[in-house]
Structure formats: C-alpha cells, structure tokens
A and B are shown apart, each in its own frame.
Chain A
Amino acid sequence: MQIPVVKLIDPVTMLSIGPAHYVILSAVLFCIGLFGVLAKRNAIMVLICIELMLNAVNINLVAFSKYVTPADFIGQIFAIFVITVAAAEVGLGLAIIIAIYRNKVSVNLDDFDLLKW
C-alpha cells in the first residue's frame, strides 16, 4: 500500500511524527502482546497481553482514520467498540480464571490441559 500523501495542518507534527511512527508503534506493541500470549505461563499475564494486542489494533485504527479518512470518524468509532468489547472480554476472562483457580488452585496455563485429546 502506498503511504498516502496528506496535507499536514500542524507544523509541529510535521516535524517529527508521521503515520509510519504510528504503524511501527502499533506493530511493536502487537508483537509484545503476541509474545506474551504465546510465551507467558501466567493466565493473568496472557489476558493483559491480549489487551496489549487489542490496543495495538486500536492505535492502528485511529492512526489510519486520522490520515486516510480525516473527514469521518470510522476508525475512532471502531476503536471505541474494540475498547468496549475488550472490557467485556477481560471481565469474562478474569471470571473464568477465577473459576479455574477455585478448582485447580493455579493460574499456570500449563496446568490447564482439559482440552487435551
């Protein structure tokens, strides 16, 4: 995709931060989150990492919205939806973790292999 040529309004931002920065930030954040999801043993940490990934997506959405369709707020609205769903998801996830913790007295993901075979 070609990085779109945009008319910059604010000279300050013009100096330092462009869309590439947002994308890179979001990518880094996403990778950190992904690594956490794949590698962390603690369920709470995994949940937090999922949040990181969602937020990376949010940054992306908002950034592209700002630069591609500045006229309407599609990306922002979408990001707000994501935040809402993420909140719900964290609530649900924590509830599940608590339920599992009550049964297994552990939040270590290695202990949760009920789906095995």
Chain B
Amino acid sequence: MGEFPVLLTILLAPVAAALIMAFLPREEKLLIKCVAAAGTFTSMALAFYTYFTYDTGTGGVQFVQQIPWIKDLGVTFYLGVDGVSLPLMLLISILGFSAVFASWNVDHRPRDFFILLCLLITGVMGTFVTQDLFIFLLFYEMVVIPIYILIIIWGSTKRVTKEYAGMKLTIYLLIGSAFLLVGVVALFMKTAGILGAPDMSFAGLARAAKSLSQFDQIWMFAVMLFGFGSLISMWPFHSWSPDGYAGAPTAVSMIHAGVLKKIGGYGLIRIALYVLPVGAQFWAPVMAFLGVCGVVYAAMAALAQKDLKYIVGYSSVSHMGYVMLAVGSLSVIGLNGAIAYMFAHGIMAALFFSMIGFIYEKTHTRWVPDLGGLHRQIPKISAGFMLAALATLGLPGLISFIPEFTIFIAAFNKYGGLAVAAIAGVIVTALYALRAGAYALFGPPREEYDHLQDIKGPELVPLVVLGTVLVVGGLLPSLLFNVINCGTIPLMAEINAALQIGGKF
C-alpha cells in the first residue's frame, strides 16, 4: 500500500469526476450528480484513510510523492501532508462531499455546475496537499476562476447583485494573490541566490530564508500578511466576505467559508510563519490586534444583520479573527488552536450555510423577519441550523469549544488584555447566533410555510456528515490535536530556533 499514490488519488478523484461529467449528456441530471458524489466520496474516504493512518509517532511530512517538474525554477510536483495540512485536507474533502449533496436540487445547468464545483474542490485540495510553494500558488489561482463563474451564474441577488458580489470577491482575492506573488517572487529570488540552486519547496525556502536580513524578512512578511490576510478576511480587508457569501450559491458559500478562507490561515502558518519567522515575530502584535478588531467588529456587525447569510458571513469574519489572534500568539498552543479552529469553523460554517441554503430553497427568503416558526414545518433543517448556531457560539461538547479555549489560553498568555476583548466577543456571538435561531425557527408557525417539505434522502447528507463530525470532534478533541501536534511542535521548534539566531541581526 505504501506505493499507492494516495494523495494524488485524493487530488484527482474530483477531476476525474469532472471529466466524466463533461462527456455525459446534460439531461442525465441524476447520473451527473451521482458521478460528482462518487468522485468527492472517493476523495473523502481516502482522506479519512490518510488521516487515520498518518503515523503520529513519526510525525513530519508523510505520504510523500515527488515528480520533478520545472527544474530551472526548482519546482517539484511535491505532494505530502503533515500535521498542519492534514486536518485541512480532511476538511475540504468532507465539505466537498457535503457540498455536492447540499446542491442536490440545482436544476439550472447542473452539469456545468458540478464540473466547476469539482474543479473548485480540487483546487482547494491542491493547496493543502502540496509542499511546494509554486504548486501552492498554482492551485490557489486555479480556485478563483470556478468561484467567479459559480457566483455569477448560480448566485443570488439580494442587497448587492450577484455580479457585484462575484466581482468583488474575485478581485479581492486576486489583489491579495498579487501581493502574495510579489512576496513569493522576492523570496524566491533572494533564496535562490543564497542556495545557489533554486528550490521552491517549503522546507528548502525555510532553510535558505534563515540567512535573509531582518529587513527583508519583515517586508516580505508584510506583503504576505496582506495577501493571506485578505484571503482569510482579516479586518479591515474583510468586506468581500459577507457580500460574496450572500451572492454565492450554497455550495460555494460552504466551500468558501469552510475552507477557501483557511488557505489564508494555512498559508500564513505554513509559509509566512515557517519561512519568515523573524518577520512573523515583528508583525505578530499587529496580527493579534487586527484579529481582535475583526472578532469584535464583525460580531457587532453580525448583530445588526437581518439576512441569514450576512449573519453567517460576518460571523465567519469574526471567527477568523480568532485564528489571526492565535497565529499572532506565536506559540504551539496558539497554532494548535488556530488549526483546530479552522477545522472546526469549516465544519460549522458549512453546516450553517447548507442549512440556510435549504431554508432559502424552500421559503425563497433569507430575510429573518419574514421567517419564523420554521421548527414545526421543517424540524430537521431547524435542528441542523441550531446545531450550527450552537457550535458557532462555542458550546462545549461541540467541535469549536476546545480550539477556542486553546486559542484563548495562548492569546491570554501573550496579550492579556487584548485577549479579553476577543473573549468578550463570545457574548456577542451568542447574542446573534441565538437571535438568528430564535427569530427564524421559533415563535408561532406561519401559514405560508405549512406546505414545506423537510429535507430527506440525499439532502440529509450534509446534516448527517457535518453534524457527526461536529459532535465527535467535540467529544474527542484528541483526534484533532494528536495529528496537529505533529505539525506544530516541529514548526514552532524551527521558528524558535530561527528567532534565537535572528536575535543577532
């Protein structure tokens, strides 16, 4: 089994599904959906297999596969996962599978929709399974295009038009990636000079970057921070996120809020922190401060929303603030918390968006005052919605609590008072999450929704899959942390070592 290219299969299964779909007649809607489901299921099953066979005793990068690609640039098609990327890879595979079922009722050009969705999933997956910076960027750019098309064709127009939303999101991401590219190119040029031979792998870059000057590290980190920060919707570069989610179709919102954002956090940890520790140390307080601003600001803004998707959109901005705070704490506990929280948030945001998607599909509105009393008519959706809302407010026993708690500990150790403001965000979060639930689901049932059908059959898949992960992850956090530890402990050791040398500059 050691020879079986498991990561490659995980990566290519959705592509294979997309190819098959491309040759299917467009009328075979059910068949198309089944192919998409099969592709993403293969991916998910193998991702679970990878996750649980990853040897936590050995740690490090495992399931390695290297195919030399562009020798002159030192680019290798280098696949491999470690404790940092493994949870996120698992996350996208779970969300991909759920997203297919959350869009089971797409009737407008379903073939094109699912092809693009599969490509999107592959793109996101690619960023997590690679250990090469060039491949990372390649997959990242590959993500943007399907997203744009998915939003402008299958999106919905509310406060802003779907074209505006799609445009805003895409342009924001591209601006971010442009900055990123500047940083990466500069990094590459400088390190190639140091190493003698070009090397684009994370490890190689990190090795070479140790001899960069402090100034270089700092400005490169700043550029990358902007790039990754706008991707993770760091305050104040967040405003694409609520609009984008509101405009996007359900599956895209799920994947976008669930994992695409996490590419920012992942990149920040995997690339910026790992390669440029001195820069990271310089910018850490800024990251933490912006994180706290994001937490409080977005939570307050979410409180004023009436559109369910906007509530969750702002809420995800707020939650990413915790991740920034955790990364800013520059400690093993903080990084553990950040990664675990990204995983947790992915699951709960996806569940939230899928349930909102179903509500919208059935009632044709997301406007909270127009809803109410839905728990009678559509109890399963309501249960899923409440589950997501409770996870959002960090209820112990669900997946989000322990990561949140670790983040608080790390942030509190390092920043004290600043962290208190972030922790206070928990109260506001409870307020908006419960209000959304209360006004949309509870209260006297409305007659016009009496005919609604609750989710059944394939529509139940997102609820079951995500709900299970939500609860199991909450009860057994060690499942997450045992793996994450394997990634963060060596990472932090490297960073600390670099910082001690860096002190001499």
The answer to whether A and B touch directly, with their CB atoms under 8 angstroms apart, is: no
Binding site for A on B (CB under 8 A): none
